[in-house]
A and B are shown apart, each in its own frame.
Chain A
């Protein structure tokens, strides 16, 4: 048809059609910025959605049994530690906002040995967390079935293991756009909990409803407040997941700190109010007897059968979505670690058919299924907490190191306030909380950490020579954000 453009040609640039526009730099920021698809709301939903899972549904009975109404303080302590870690995490994430999160910060900040420890620790920590969530799911599903008269008396462990296998299969087969589903679930959960807590709160403070005889606030003394905090800290594990998708968050300097701190505050408030409502309604002793699904009986007491059904349904979805989120982020951890050659090649392969990292997902799903069958709720939760607390403590150490050494290129867009007290306290509190766990959890968690170090010495240290250094990570961060 027409002759090739002969008029006002652009000249030089037109020889190669690839030049011009953002195509100039195929790996450059324009393209990367396209891959930033998460806003503040999505980031908050990731954090809140991961946290608001099992914790609020599974822990009230166990926590009240240990510490009485003072278990409110246990949850507050957990939130405090999470906040002390969230602020340094936010600073590091804006200084090197590449996906990989906590692992990325520690491995770049402290080197490959610490990187291996944190990478494998995060991977196994997520497995323990997912197993814990799924056992909670088992309790909730069994009780839901019993509530509607469908129970065939299957043991909780079997239900949970079946769920683990199914969830793994689904995550390998690939669900596109489940981000929307996640948002819907989180919104529904928050709505159900909101009604429950509002009603329960008004009831408990005596605005209406029966008079309650207040029980002793801390019937077992101060120590159980801390052992309970160690137990329930699992409820806060979600916040750092936000940092693992830092590379996909728009305007990270603004949205990352807000999402990190915001989700901890939202969830911490929810937990404290929940324990307040639960202990006011039924008293610690009955809660302890009711165990993992105590909160459902609280709803029954306050709102009748409809309340119980709503909480059961919410619990089913919450535990499942938490487990799902953990499995998904574990596959990202494996990617980050094996890209650094600390794990053998091939673990992070993406299936051409499903477009998902099938090997990593399988290597996560199978251990979870096994853990669910043999694990006890309290130990699963504590080991998950322990492994994460060690990582969080190291994050604070990284921040202190970077602030002291101020390497060239370290230009965080967000500065952690209260330095050096915040990261020092964060590290001390993270490591310190471990001491309040039961011996079996400390043995298992410590064993896994030791095993990571053995892995490093036996295998991963060969990657040490060419291990990406701090300068590289900071340069990546700088070019992405300026």
Chain B
């Protein structure tokens, strides 16, 4: 699917879900908010309700307080000129709520917020396939009228690296780079590509993330292990302390 699908419904901006705790939201760096400007932000305030409390009961008592808290966060977005929608939910599980809202609101990506102190370099982990176009849409939006630089990183599985230097993969990366330049209108000199060879992409992405300020990755189907121990994107954000923009799979 391409960007056309969003035409007319949301002023053709891609939607990104940002979830914060209410009534005590975490800080979102102005730099990060600025980065989101080309996107439409769905701001989800989550009040986590313990099991012994009925969600409606919590809503009745805390609705105004939580809405006010979310409104304060939203005001920061508004001031930065970022389009933002607000919603407060009372739910037992924050991650599940974010996931379900992303589906219901047709969000293209979900932002995992971390503090940032400078924001210049964006890392996009790609893997040839249908996800790429979705990731490039987001990346293109972020880069087009800004001065960020971006690295496209592809960790090629070893059996595919028929040449030890991963020449085939490099060719594919050049195609992606060209797509970014031609379709998304990004200056070529702001894009770097990198191919690594390895069976486990996670440590490679994690290592590369440390040299960048924000990471873009595609959502993958969660393995059983991930369902239990949490997703790679969550671990990536927590371990590297970098904000991670998870581009969702197509519905």
The answer to whether the Cβ of B218 comes within 8 Å of any Cβ in the partner chain is no
Interface residues on B, range: 35 or more
Partner of B55, one of A4, A248, A354: A248
The answer to whether A176 and B105 touch across the interface, beta carbons within 8 angstroms, is no
The answer to whether the Cβ of A283 comes within 8 Å of any Cβ in the partner chain is no
Known contacts A4-B81, A17-B83, A176-B50; A22/B7 CB under 8 A: no
Known contacts A348-B57, A350-B62; A31/B89 CB under 8 A: yes
The answer to whether A34 and B100 touch across the interface, beta carbons within 8 angstroms, is yes
The answer to whether the Cβ of B225 comes within 8 Å of any Cβ in the partner chain is no
Contact pattern, B 86-100, Cβ under 8 Å of A = 1, otherwise 0: 111111110011001
The answer to whether A18 and B52 touch across the interface, beta carbons within 8 angstroms, is no
The interface-forming segment of B34-42, B125-133, B157-165, B199-207 is B34-42
User: Chain A: which residue is nearest B96 at the CB level?
Assistant: A37
Partner of B37, one of A2, A178, A327: A2
Q: Whole-angstrom distance between the alpha carbons of A10 and B37 in the complex? A: 16
| Interface residues contributed by chain A, number (CB under 8 Å) | 46
The answer to whether the Cβ of B226 comes within 8 Å of any Cβ in the partner chain is no
The answer to whether B48 and A176 touch across the interface, beta carbons within 8 angstroms, is yes
Known contacts A174-B50, A335-B54; A34/B86 CB under 8 A: no
The answer to whether the Cβ of B51 comes within 8 Å of any Cβ in the partner chain is yes
User: Chain A: which residue is nearest B97 at the CB level?
Assistant: A34
Partner of A1, one of B34, B56, B57, B74: B34
Query: Would you give the shortest CB distance from A172 to chain B, in whole angstroms?
Result: 8
Q: Whole-angstrom distance between the alpha carbons of A5 and B85 in the complex? A: 16
User: Chain B: which residue is nearest A335 at the CB level?
Assistant: B57
Q: Which residues of B contact A177 (CB under 8 A)?
A: 51, 92-93
The answer to whether A23 and B97 touch across the interface, beta carbons within 8 angstroms, is no
The answer to whether A2 and B86 touch across the interface, beta carbons within 8 angstroms, is no
Query: Would you give the shortest CB distance from A346 to chain B, in whole angstroms?
Result: 11
Q: In the complex, which of the residues B37, B51, B52, B91 has the most CB atoms of chain A within 10 Å of its own CB atom? A: B52
Query: Would you give the shortest CB distance from B36 to chain A, in whole angstroms?
Result: 11
Known contacts A9-B11, A176-B51; A22/B56 CB under 8 A: no
Contact pattern, A 318-350, Cβ under 8 Å of B = 1, otherwise 0: 000000000110011001000100000000111
Q: Which residues of B contact A357 (CB under 8 A)?
A: 52-53, 57
The answer to whether B90 and A35 touch across the interface, beta carbons within 8 angstroms, is yes
Contact pattern, A 97-115, Cβ under 8 Å of B = 1, otherwise 0: 0010000000000000000
The answer to whether the Cβ of B2 comes within 8 Å of any Cβ in the partner chain is no
Q: Which residues of A contact B89 (CB under 8 A)?
A: 31, 34-35
Known contacts A4-B81, A17-B85, A23-B85; A34/B91 CB under 8 A: yes
Q: Whole-angstrom distance between the alpha carbons of A348 and B54 in the complex? A: 10
User: Chain B: which residue is nearest A176 at the CB level?
Assistant: B50
The answer to whether the Cβ of B84 comes within 8 Å of any Cβ in the partner chain is yes
User: Chain A: which residue is nearest B148 at the CB level?
Assistant: A1
The answer to whether B104 and A34 touch across the interface, beta carbons within 8 angstroms, is yes
Q: Which residues of A contact B61 (CB under 8 A)?
A: 349-350
The answer to whether A247 and B10 touch across the interface, beta carbons within 8 angstroms, is no
Report 14 cross-chain contacts, Cβ distance below 8 Å, ordered by A residue.
Answer: A1-B34, A2-B37, A5-B11, A10-B8, A17-B84, A17-B85, A22-B87, A22-B104, A37-B91, A99-B56, A176-B92, A247-B54, A350-B58, A350-B62
Query: Beyond the given A1-B146, A34-B101, A175-B52, could you list 20 further A-B residue pairs with CB under 8 A, ordered by the A residue number?
Result: A2-B37, A17-B83, A18-B86, A22-B104, A23-B85, A26-B87, A31-B89, A34-B91, A34-B97, A99-B56, A174-B52, A175-B50, A177-B51, A247-B54, A328-B52, A332-B54, A350-B62, A355-B48, A355-B49, A357-B52
> Measuring CB to CB, which residues of chain A are less than 8 angstroms from any residue of chain B?
1-2, 4-5, 7-10, 14, 17-18, 20-23, 26, 30-31, 33-35, 37, 99, 171, 174-179, 247-248, 327-328, 331-332, 335, 339, 348-350, 354-357, 361
> Measuring CB to CB, which residues of chain B are less than 8 angstroms from any residue of chain A?
7-13, 34, 37-38, 42, 47-58, 60-62, 74, 78, 81, 83-93, 96-97, 100-101, 104-106, 145-146
Q: Which 8 A-B pairs have the closest CB atoms?
A: A10-B11, A174-B50, A2-B145, A35-B55, A328-B52, A335-B57, A23-B85, A34-B89
